[in-house]
Amino acid sequence: MSDQTRFILNETDLPRNWYNVLADSPVPPAPVLNPMTKEAITPEFLSVLFPMEIIQQEVSTERYIEIPEEVREIYKLYRPTPLVRARRLEKALDTPAHIYYKNESVSPVGSHKPNTAIPQAFYNKVAGTKAMTTETGAGQWGAALSMACNFFGIDLEVYMVKISYNQKPYRRIFMQTYGAQVFASPTDRTEYGRALLAKDPENTGSLGIAISEAVEMAAASGGTKKYGIGSVLNHVLLHQTVIGEEALKQMDLAGEYPDVIIGCVGGGSNFSGIAYPFLRQNLKDGQRTRLVAVEPTATPSLTKGVYAFDYGDTAQMAPIVKMYTLGHTFMPAGIHAGGLRYHGMAPSVSALYDAGYIEAVAVSQIGTFDAAVQFTKAEGILPAPESAHAIRVAINEALDAKAKGEKRVILFNLSGHGHFDMTAYQSYLNGELVDYEHPEHAIEEAMKDLPQVSEEA
């Protein structure tokens, strides 16, 4: 075992391939359905939104997909990212456990999201795309795609959830600095947005609504605009596996192997990014690492949702996928982890959870900020509220190991820093945060709006 604290790889260690879990997953995901016909989706439907290379990756079952050299060159701005042993946190907890974290907050925009934004912009550039549309909640995905589109000379329209647009001006300005156009969703630019505003001019938006607007703008553009998505779909999860591939090499440098891997889940991309390469080792190499997905009690899609076919967006324009869902009509509570407020979960994460290959746990908002502050004080890095969900469970695991007198090797993904989330920390420090549990009756109610699809689908 190494006595180092940081485990740094060279540029030459940057992975050459992304890992496609669908090649090894014992549970093949259900087909993706067209929201209008409810039949299996065709490449023609998807080609309205995505370039062909992305569509091929979305449906691929190849185990490894080569990372283009142009993408690797840009990854080198911040990759490989450090793996750090949280020695000061271990000491503060007085635990026999060893805690490691993969630090994805060192990317230029402060989160893991450029890992997929860069290849998405690249494949669009190669396909001749001049403009893209996307949605963003708190602005992390929007900032990542703004940076990537700027690098490749692609115009970008970002539909930003209105409440965040008003409350979080700094990420909006960040996106605008890269040259993106940012609109407060619901907007009057789309049919769907206009219909919502006619009903309620005060509508503060949701991620599901912003997705609908970004998809409508691309679909109605006659092929001139393509759409980029920050999580949930297979190709996004694929791109994020650089995190876990690097972490495997770095754990080797540390001379240890994780007993448990922890990641927060919004749509599931940073969790699967770190976990899937280790799942491969479980399936192929006889390892027994536990993989734990952490969600807020306010958006408990895995722990309380239903495994069913549902629309990816509120307006029922996005494809229907089989996933753990709270219903596409879900309106999230105003918790501060904006990146975790999606109603559904990635289909591959859902299938693997359903079959018992991964675990899930929900944590409350105040407990999460307790952990965030403990981590900030011990390790110096102020985490994103999303990432703090993983920290909460990493600390719980370390305390459990202590109670049982066990050595346990814990690895979690620090998906981002929280420098744009100071109002959340201010609320916590002022004692103004509240816990919120999404009520069972709201889930039951929302299930009435699930699409009716045939059983074989």
Ligand X SMILES: *Cc1c(COP(=O)(O)O)cnc(C)c1O
Residue of 371, 415, 425, 443 interacting with ligand X (CB under 6 A):
415
Give the residue with the Cβ less far from ligand X, 206 or 269.
269
- How far apart are CB 240 and ligand X at their closest, in Å? 7
Which helix H or strand E contains 378, and what residues bound it?
A: helix 365-379
Cα–Cα distance list, 116 to 166, 207, 235, 240, 242 (Å):
27, 19, 8, 6, 10
Q: Which of the ranges 30-38, 150-158, 301-309, 382-390 carries the binding residues for ligand X, by CB under 6 A?
A: 382-390
Q: Taking CB under 6 A as the rule, does residue 384 contact ligand X?
A: yes
Residue of 267, 296, 327, 347 interacting with ligand X (CB under 6 A):
267
* C-alpha dihedral, 57 to 61 to 66 to 70, nearest 10°: 10
Residue of 225, 416, 443, 446 interacting with ligand X (CB under 6 A):
416
Residue 165 in tokens? 């647009």
Helix 242-254 and helix 269-285: axis angle, to 10°? 60
Neighbours of 16 (CB within 10 A): 11
Give the residue with the Cβ less far from ligand X, 9 or 264.
264
Sequence-separated (6 or more) residues with CB below 8 Å from residue 36: none
Residues 218-237 that bind ligand X (CB under 6 A): 231
- How far apart are CB 63 and ligand X at their closest, in Å? 22
- How far apart are CB 441 and ligand X at their closest, in Å? 26
Q: Taking CB under 6 A as the rule, does residue 344 contact ligand X?
A: no
- How far apart are CB 302 and ligand X at their closest, in Å? 11
Torsion 115-119-124-125 (CA) sign: positive
Residues 285-324 that bind ligand X (CB under 6 A): none
Residue of 35, 205, 208, 268 interacting with ligand X (CB under 6 A):
268
Q: Taking CB under 6 A as the rule, does residue 270 contact ligand X?
A: yes
What are 312-316's contacts with CB under 8 Å, separation 24+?
312/211, 312/232, 312/344, 313/208, 313/209, 313/211, 313/212, 313/215, 314/206, 314/208, 314/209, 314/211, 314/212, 315/192, 315/208, 315/209, 315/212, 315/215, 315/216, 316/35, 316/451
Determine the Cα–Cα distance for residues 144 and 112; give it in Å rounded to an integer: 9
Give the residue with the Cβ less far from ligand X, 212 or 270.
270
User: Which x/- pattern over 121-160 shows residues binding ligand X (rule: CB under 6 A)?
Assistant: -------------------xx-------------------
- How far apart are CB 214 and ligand X at their closest, in Å? 15
Q: Which of the ranges 79-87, 245-253, 368-376, 383-391 carries the binding residues for ligand X, by CB under 6 A?
A: 383-391
Instruction: For the chain, state the CA radius of gyration.
Output: 21
Residue of 71, 265, 302, 391 interacting with ligand X (CB under 6 A):
265
Give the residue with the Cβ less far from ligand X, 164 or 231.
231
Give the residue with the Cβ less far from ligand X, 408 or 417.
417
Contact (Cβ atoms closer than 8 angstroms) between residue 296 and residue 336: no
Determine the Cα–Cα distance for residues 31 and 256; give it in Å rounded to an integer: 38
Residues 51-90 that bind ligand X (CB under 6 A): none
Applying CB under 6 A, the residues found at the interface with ligand X are 111, 113, 140-141, 231, 264-271, 339-340, 384, 386-387, 415-416
